[in-house]
Amino acid sequence: MAITNGTQVDRVQVVAHRGTAGYAPENTMAAFERAIQMNADYLELDIQLSKDNELVVIHDSTVDRTTNGSAAVKDLTLEELRGLDAGSWFLEEFKGQPIPTLGEVLALCRGRIGVLIETKWPYLYPGLEQKLADELAAYQMHLPAERVIVQSFDQDSVKRFRAIMPEVPVGVLVENAALLAEDKLMELANYAAYVNPALELVTAEAVAHIHSLGMKIFPWTVRSRSVVPSILALGVDGVITDYPDYLSQD
């Protein structure tokens, strides 16, 4: 438990951004395994579809930045994506880390850690939300015993997923302060359980508004120890960070 203004409150959830992106190559099994070892509450990851309609875990719309390849994710088959090296760019010791499938990550996480899944570039991938729902069901990750949240900057994607699998809570990512206005938050509260803004947008007033509407807030992305005390003091429900150990609350 954490203590805020002398009152005992629920422990702030530690969300490992793209796995432990500060310590291992983002969105790889090495990063996800480390998040579990570091006792994070959730790991955050990004999903897209391969050319042959398989769910893969990668952030950018191209493989250029985080692999030794050069192409759009949507133009490569799963076999081609899996043949790329997604680790060497970070450190040579991670050479040979493949781009994971969502199924591999769910198998790793089930019963061990929560999963915060972002639908990336959903306009590029018709049917992405249905495919995600099918995968969650296949691994029984939609059941109450598991902790899964689906989020996106694309509100239409969030709404589509919620319509397919309403038992899984959804969140809206926010990088524009206008979305944190009270009238906009009221609109989001019609379907979202989480509002997850960029760190610089988080204020005590925004947190209070979000909570007053029955939603929770997970700001992103903490990359410095120095900001931890101030962000925790605002009463957020979770923190998305590249360094889960920065959020030790013992």
pLDDT digits (tens, 9 = 90+) for 6-46: 333 578 999 999 999 999 999 999 999 999 999 999 999 99
Which pTM was predicted? 0.95
Residue 114 lies in a domain: yes
User: If you average pLDDT over residues 211-235, what whole number do you get?
Assistant: 97
211 assigned to active site: no
In a domain, 53, yes or no: no
The number of domains in the chain is 1
In this structure, is residue 133 part of a structural domain?
Answer: yes
Classify residue 34: in a domain, yes or no. yes
Catalytic residue among 59, 142, 209, 211: 59
Does residue 90 lie in a domain region?
Answer: no
Find the CATH number of the domain harbouring 123.
3.20.20.190
Q: For the segment 140-161, what is each residue's pLDDT rounded down to a tens digit? A: 999 989 999 999 999 999 999 9
**Is residue 154 situated within a structural domain?**
yes
Domain that holds residue 132: 12-48+103-247
Whether 96 maps to a domain, the answer reads no
58 assigned to some structural domain: no
Residue 13's contacts (CB-CB under 8 Å, 6 or more residues apart) are 41, 42, 114, 218, 237, 238, 239
209 as an active site residue: the answer is no
Q: What is the mean pLDDT of residues 168-195?
A: 97
The catalytic position among 17, 142, 209, 211 is: 17
